[in-house]
């Protein structure tokens, strides 16, 4: 599914499209609506880069059972587990 955001909203935010996406992903992660793995994939960055992004915004990582399962799945997919 794709989400269309009106140009007017992007302009009003004063952010670029990439920055707006980043803010949305940070908000969803902060509210525990998406996992660390999902957030980093949506932004096209590594989980470590996403953790750096969180730190630069004064946000903290939450790591739960679902995050662990995703990490295990990712490691298995590249034969590291």
Helix, strand, coil percentages for the chain (3-state, nearest 5):
65, 0, 35
Residue 37 to residue 56: CA distance in whole angstroms: 18
pLDDT in tens, 28-60: 999 989 988 899 999 999 999 999 999 999 998
- Taking CA atoms, 48 is separated from 9, 15, 36, 62, in Å, by 30, 24, 10, 13
Q: Percent of the chain scored above 70 by pLDDT?
A: 99
Tell me what the mean pLDDT of segment 17-34 comes to. 94
Instruction: For the chain, give every domain's residue range.
Output: 7-77
- Nearest-10 Cα torsion for 26, 30, 36, 38: -60
The angle, 0 to 180 degrees and rounded to 10, between the axes of the packed helices 17-30 and 47-56 is 90
Which of 1-5, 14-18, 24-28, 35-39 has the least mean pLDDT? 1-5
pLDDT given for residue 51 in this prediction: 94
What is the structure's pLDDT at 62?
A: 76
């Amino acid at each position: 599914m794709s989400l269309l955001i009106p140009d007017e909203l992007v302009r009003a935010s004063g952010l670029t499209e990439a920055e707006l996406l980043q803010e949305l992903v940070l908000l969803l992660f902060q509210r525990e609506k998406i996992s660390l793995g999902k957030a980093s994939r949506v932004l096209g960055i590594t989980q470590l880069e996403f953790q750096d992004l969180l730190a630069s915004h004064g946000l903290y990582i939450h790591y739960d059972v679902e995050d662990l399962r995703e990490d295990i799945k990712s490691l298995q997919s590249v034969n590291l587990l």
